[in-house]
Structure 1
Amino acid sequence: MSAQEKVPTGESNPLYGCAIFVIILSIVGGIVCWVIYSGLKQNEEIGKFAVDVAEPLPVAEVSVETRSALEQKLTTFLTANAGGAASLTLDVPEMNALVVLAGEAGIADYRGMVRFTGMDATGKAFLADLVWPMNRLSLTDKSQRFLVGQASFEPYIDGQSMDLRIGTLAVPGKTVSEGFLRSLQNWPWLNLAKLNAQVAETMKRVGGFEFSADGKSFRLDTKAPGGETAAQ
């Protein structure tokens, strides 16, 4: 005997399918509207402190002697790091020179956008001037505007690698919203540099860092494959 065929006893209601479709569209539409609203809101917030025109920051002038000394210091560090634990100490002029060298090498080019001005030993942060280009959130206006101010960059180790995040941000005469600052604080600022395999591997090996008490230098220590850090 063949299996009994089950036949729906109630009438099919075409509005049922339409109702589900409307619900799905409503959910998707709500998400799209929220994204658009958030984008427009952020665009409005950025407009309160950004400027349409800004001169790039002066790029550090790196003398032949400074370049040679810094390149030798980096080579010594990377050679030691390749075989075990190593340490690298940099002061503010060297960090600005490193910005130039990294830009020239095509690793990450922040020339004219970031210029280090000091270190905060208590807050464990680098201090810097910024002229940061920002795209407009507009379908028609593709021109850039600029964030011109001062920021602190805090180094941190997240269990995977060392990176930098913005701690504070100030734009003279203007207010930066807390929401926008929080979004900036989520950006890992070394991600672009980490596209370079050697930089990425070095940052993964960082086991600690320290600012000098006088706020004039910064030292990072990498771990050997076995886990030990360089002896100080």
Structure 2
Amino acid sequence: MAKIQKTPTGEFHSGYGCVIMAAVVGVFVFIVWWGYYTLTTMDAAIAAVSQPAPVQLPAVQAVPGLEQKLTAFAADVTAGKPATLKFSVVDLNALLTLAPDGGNGSYKDMLRVKSLDAAKQTITTDASLPMNTAKFWEDKKRYLVGEVDFSLEMTALGPDVKVSAVRVPGKTIPEEMVKGMAMYGYLGPYQNHATIGPVLKALKSYKVYADGVVVSTVESK
């Protein structure tokens, strides 16, 4: 039996390639435009709620014995023992002074914990956060000064802390701006730290109380 061979009956038009190329270019141009639009829109939103200079946050109260308590906790974690630790508001602020610079500046110059909300499971802070401008390569900062709420969440590398609400007196904070800020994890720089990272990864649960934040290597029930 003779082999049946299918032969295309439609004609190829050289314009097809031009149409496809035009579509690709159009998509690329849209992506570039959308990126520029988003950047400039966000830049304008930040400019509307920020100020050119930071504010001086209250002095941090020293907590005698805190470093020893952290060392003992880390030793138990390393040994595989169940370990639980509770941090008061004063403790949390002292931790800010002990935390190494993660590459974006020291948190002790940016945040002060002022209260804890057990119902919302949030940490409320006074903040003076440096914000980049659209011309980020110039390394010029403006500052978001107000109250910032943080919520905790568990990740594969341990707990992380992210923005959940922002309040600046006399200003309305765009929802999209808060969502953008919430993408950054404030414990992220430490999750791969040589000594801090393994301790964070061993933590399995947390809970915010009115008088402190409890972290534990034991999973919550």
TM-score of the superposed pair, with normalisation by structure 2: 0.85
Give the aligned partner of residue 115 of structure 2.
Answer: 118
Determine if contact 1:59/1:112 at 8 Å carries over to the other structure.
no
Matches within 5 A, 1:33-48: 33-48=33-48
What is the Cα deviation at residue 159 of structure 1? 5.2
Cα contact 2:49–2:144 (8 A) shared by 1: yes
Aligned in 2, Cα 1:108/1:51: closer, same or farther, shift over 3 Å?
closer
| Structure 1 residue 61: Cα displacement | 4.7
Separation in structure 1 between the aligned mates of residue 82 and residue 60 of structure 2, nearest angstrom: 30
Instruction: Please state if 1:157 is matched with 2:165.
Output: no
Matched with 1:3 is none
Cα 1:103/1:59, change in 2 over 3 Å: farther
d(CA) in 1 for partners of 2:138 and 2:183?
26
Change (3 A) 1:20 1:152: same
CA displacement 1:33-68 (0-9 Å, x = unmatched): 111111111111111101112224244253xxx35x
Unaligned runs of 5+ in 2: 1-6
* Residues paired across the two proteins, number: 214
Partner of 1:220: 215
Distance across 2 between alignment mates of 1:193 and 1:82 = 17
**What is the correspondence of 1:145-184 to structure 2 with a 5 Å cutoff?**
145-158=142-155, 160-184=157-181
Q: Which amino acid aligns with 2:52?
A: D
Identity of aligned residues (%): 27
Name the structure 1 match of 2:4: none
Of residues 87, 91, 94 in structure 2, which corresponds to 1:94? Answer: 91
2:23 is matched with 23
SS in 1 for 2:39: helix
Q: Which runs of 5+ in 1 are unaligned?
A: 1-6
Question: Measured at CA, do residues 91 and 147 of structure 1 come closer, stay the same or move farther in structure 2, by a change above 3 Å?
Answer: same
Contact 2:158 2:191 survives alignment (8 Å): no
Q: What letter is aligned with 1:79?
A: A
* 1:199 paired residue among 189, 196, 199: 196
Root-mean-square deviation (CA, aligned residues, Å) is 2.8
Superposed displacement of residue 203, structure 1:
2.0
Distance 1:203 1:130, change over 3 A: same
2:127 is aligned with 1:130 = yes
Deviation larger for 53-62 or 98-107: 98-107
AA matched with 2:38 = S
Bigger CA drift: 28-37 or 16-25?
16-25
Q: Distance in 2 between matches of 1:191 and 1:96?
A: 18
User: Aligned residue for 1:4?
Assistant: none
Instruction: Specify the code of the residue in structure 1 equivalent to 2:211.
Output: K
SS in structure 2 opposite 1:122? Answer: coil
